[in-house]
Chains A and B, each alone.
Chain A
Amino acid sequence: MTTTTATAPLINKRAVIDWLGIAPFAIFALMFLIVPTLYLVTGAFLTPEGTFTFKNLADLFTPTILSAYWISIRVSVASSLGGALIGFFLAWAIVLGGVPNWIRSGLLTFSGVASNFAGVPLAFAFLSTLGRTGLVTVFLRDWFGFNLYGTGFNLLSFFGLTITYMYFQIPLMVLILTPALDGLKKEWREAAEILGASTWQYWRMVALPILWPSLLGTTLLLFANAFGAIATAYALTGSSLNIVPILLYAQIRGDVLHNPNLGYALALGMIVITGISNILYIWLRMRAERWQK
């Protein structure tokens, strides 16, 4: 007892030094991450005069803003589901499909690059491929007499944006899912086969129940990834496609909603949507990791 009291001040001094060590990080995180976000979150509940209100959140339910959220959610859902599906098959092909090893390492390296190749240049790439004079458009016209734009296709639309987003969604899915598929033990498959299971039964009753947290979790991550993206959409469509990040961009630039605090509410809505999908992703990943030991 006496020794504890004697050394207590010393421990305290050490504890102070310990905490001082992460002070730069704490200050940085507060100044450039947490306080700016909280400022917007609190602003969403205030009138321009500074009194508490729910009006800003209620005003989000006006047709323009609702339609922006709706388009954003549709593009994000479509590109994350498409990306997840194709990414799953690619990951499956390189892990279990028996393709040569160089294809596996090649695809993984490429995925590392492509998942970071977003923003403005990605929009240029798709414009020069599927735009009105793009490679594929011209090729289809000259060789097959097929007018792509005659079918109502337009790159500057919901569908075009979805295809473009999938360019970074698919590689992200491949990168995250390949380790999960690597984690499927051969013994499980053999055990299932010995017990007389067909391939379909093995996937439905063994593999997919183990994989679904990874699959669903990664899909949610892709969703949040697409929902917050702006540069590609802005370079592709200008401000003609009314998605939430572009609306927020216009609001920051020139208060198009004529109410600064409504802009904060718009930002809060984005944080809530990406926040929920990320929290679910983290929770599902923890579940998935139980099988990867």
Chain B
Amino acid sequence: MKAQRLGAWIAIAIGASYFIIPLLGTLEFSLRMRRGAYSFDAYESVFADLQFRETFGYSMLMAVLTIAFGMLLVVPTAYWVRLRLPQVRPIVEFVTLLPLVIPAIVIVFGYLRLYNSSSILPLTGSTSGTNALLMFSYMTLSLPYMYRAVDTAMRAIDVRTLTEAAESLGAKWPTILFRCIFPNVMSGVLSGAFITFAIVMGEFTMAALLNRPAFGPYLQLVGANKAYEPSALAVIAFAITWLSMGLIQLVSRFQKSASPKA
């Protein structure tokens, strides 16, 4: 038993150092810009860069739009499948998992061929069309996570009874959906939203191949041209991921402590 505990601690120590050293390395490197002294120069340089603000803002906007449209697609679908079409559930679940099976680069390759400027639906022919296509591609990427999060939250509530209660009180379907179902699956909606946010902020392949000025391609560009700024950006990116995941934990913990009372 003692040997087992020792082994466990050794495993934890090795794992922790493998996880922590690259983070320390990144942090240390990002502070090294001024010769001979640690400073925040690299961060100042990053925040002063106009392109940083533009691409960051662009990706933020994309993330918000992806979350809004994604939820408008996922929540009614998950609701409808549970209420009316339980027999297609395996198929819908399978489709939502496909983006994990088909690599992102393959999906975007298909878009570029299918929606090019000489096709029936020339989405890549205009800037707004390409923006829309990028948003749809992000919705596709986040589909597995959003659907799972919402569906798990929906499992906890009795969709049928809620619907019937709302109907017998005279509610129309928009009221049922937006004032009855959405608030009840809010924990799922929020965790799906945060993970989508983390995915969209760091995504590189889709935005690079669709030629849109997003944060991911900007990171790559800085990485190829500058020395200290990339580490500062990596620290910022890690903080964004950490923040998103932390918020998911917070939401699920809040949900757990709230549900017995409700």
Contacts and interface: CB of A to CB of B under 8 A. Distances in A.
B220 interface: yes
B19 to A, nearest CB: 6
Contact of A33 (B9, B107, B113): B107
Interface of B: 1, 4-5, 7-9, 11-12, 14-15, 18-19, 21-26, 28-30, 73, 76-77, 80-81, 84-85, 88, 92, 95, 98-114, 136-137, 139-140, 143, 195, 198-199, 202-205, 209, 216, 219-220, 223-224, 230-231, 233-234, 237-238, 241-242, 244-246, 248-249
B21 A119 contact: no
Contacts of B248: 112
Contact of B12 (A93, A126, A171, A252): A93
A144 interface: no
A37 B110 contact: yes
A253 B238 CA distance: 29
B102 A37 contact: yes
Contact of B8 (A35, A39, A93, A126): A93
A33 B199 contact: no
Contact of B73 (A24, A124, A231): A24
B233 A271 contact: no
A142 interface: no
Given A92-B11, A120-B216, A227-B103, 12 more contacts: A22-B81, A39-B113, A40-B106, A40-B110, A43-B113, A93-B7, A109-B246, A113-B245, A117-B237, A121-B219, A124-B219, A270-B106
B103 A126 contact: no
A278 interface: yes
Contacts of A286: none
A267 B1 CA distance: 51
A45 interface: no
B245 A116 contact: yes
Interface string A206-227: 0000000000000000001001
Indicate the member of B18, B112, B143, B241 with the most A CB atoms within 10 Å. B241
A132 B140 CA distance: 38
B26 A124 contact: yes
A98 B21 contact: no
B26 A21 contact: no
Give the interface residue-count category, chain A: 35 or more
A93 B244 CA distance: 27
Contacts of A66: none
Interface in A127-182: 127-130, 133-136, 166-167, 170-171
What are the 3 A-B residue pairs with the smallest beta carbon separation, nearest first? A97-B8, A36-B110, A228-B103
Contacts of A22: 77, 80-81, 85, 88, 92
A202 interface: no
Given A128-B28, A129-B21, A86 B14 contact: yes
B234 A128 contact: yes
B249 A90 contact: no
Contacts of A125: 22-23, 25-26, 231, 234, 238
Nearest to A269: B106
